[in-house]
Amino acid sequence: MPRHSRPHPVYSFRFWLLVLAAVGFTAAWKLELLPLGKPRPAATPAAHEIELGDSDSGVPADDAEIFQGQSEPGAAPAAEHVTVTALQPRVMPRSDTVAQSPFGTPAPEFVSAAPARGAPPAAPEPQITPAAASSFNPSSTGIVLAADESAPEAPANPFADSAAPESPAEPPAFDFTEIDVHLNAGTKDGDVAAHRVLSELYWQHPELRPQLSERIEQTARRIYFQPQPHYFDEYVVEPGETLQAIARKYSVSWQYLDRLNRVKGKPIQVGQSLKVIKGPFAAVVDLSDYEITVHCHGHYVYRFPVGVGMDGSTPIGTFAVEDKMANPPYNGPEGSFAADDPANPVGERWISLGGGYGIHGTTEPESIGKSESLGCIRMHSQDVEIVFDLLTVGSEVVIQR
């Protein structure tokens, strides 16, 4: 019998039906017409639709201590579920009342042009006293006060009351070009020249102090608080010498030399080089500004916030430090307190000015910047420790309004 040949599968109807079905399925999947593939994300609700239940504060454990001691008002008790209309960042208050220690983290080390070995030291700059600063003439130094001409004058308000008092004028902008030439020289002589002019301006033009602040703090820190560079000949320790004996030669305290040279109470060694500054230091207390400025022969050293006497009870005049005491006992209107009592109202340092008045620490730091003491000068604990180390018995302290 004759055999019938079968048609090739490629010509069959079933084959093409399967091919078309596969192509259609693939196209539908690519166009996401089939409920396959990745699920679509749920729509994010608007901020006003978010409900917050009980949760943690959101403060990382490592950062929790940043928020300690902040004086924010207490929050109202939270309901079990709170609906919020917006999410706002939390801004913590910042306190600038405490001055940062000048002996703290030093600025990048100053690199100066070292004089030739054996060369005589530069002649010391003339001394400046706050009282004599009134004779200072800015034009004599080539430094001039110039009005800021960059901003046009604001037109008068036609609706303003003609009898209304004018707002106080802003202090004129100061031209620091000549001072910056000294600073940018990168030499000790440049530092001293710049600091002398800045100190003169500090005393004679208090209104310029915000403009002077950055530069005068920079030069004062290098001269008085960093162990390098040396502005006087370095002192080389000889056999049998003590830090106390060396400090007396320069009319400063041994505690100051200890801080300045980072000795940290260790015995000094024969042949050791020390940075020295010729004292004594002195201070001016401005009652109206609640500040004490420490200076060295009129050259600015540092300033700190203070608290003063209520009802004008802090005496005005020129005084000399009569005595200094660390960890003093106290007997006064507040009662009697032992030296180690944490409630001792004078804190850990007492600098006597005579007549029962003095400069001391406080257990009420919130009183700094206010007139709340019985007449003494109050300071933050860390600040009075620095002033205690700078001033010596006999140092002059001027108190003025």
Q: Contact 165/260 with Cβ under 8 angstroms? A: no
For residues 164 and 385, what is the distance between their CA atoms, to the nearest angstrom? 48
For residues 83 and 106, what is the distance between their CA atoms, to the nearest angstrom? 49
127 exposed, middle or buried (CB, 10 Å; 0-12, 13-18, 19+)? exposed
Q: Which residues of 35-58 are buried (b: 16+ CB within 10 A; e: fewer)?
A: eeeeeeeeeeeeeeeeeeeeeeee
Choosing from 182, 230, 295, 360, the catalytic residue is: 360
Name the nearest CA neighbour of 136 among 53, 199, 219.
199
For residues 315 and 48, what is the distance between their CA atoms, to the nearest angstrom? 60
Q: Contact 202/175 with Cβ under 8 angstroms? A: no
For residues 276 and 295, what is the distance between their CA atoms, to the nearest angstrom? 16
8: annotated active-site residue: no
DSSP string, 114-131: PPPTTPPPPPPPPP--TT
For residues 360 and 118, what is the distance between their CA atoms, to the nearest angstrom? 44
DSSP string, 217-265: HHHHHHHHTSS-S-SSPPEEPPTT--HHHHHHHTTS-HHHHHHHTT-TT
Choosing from 182, 205, 296, 376, the catalytic residue is: 376
360: annotated active-site residue: yes
By annotation, the residues acting in catalysis are 360, 376
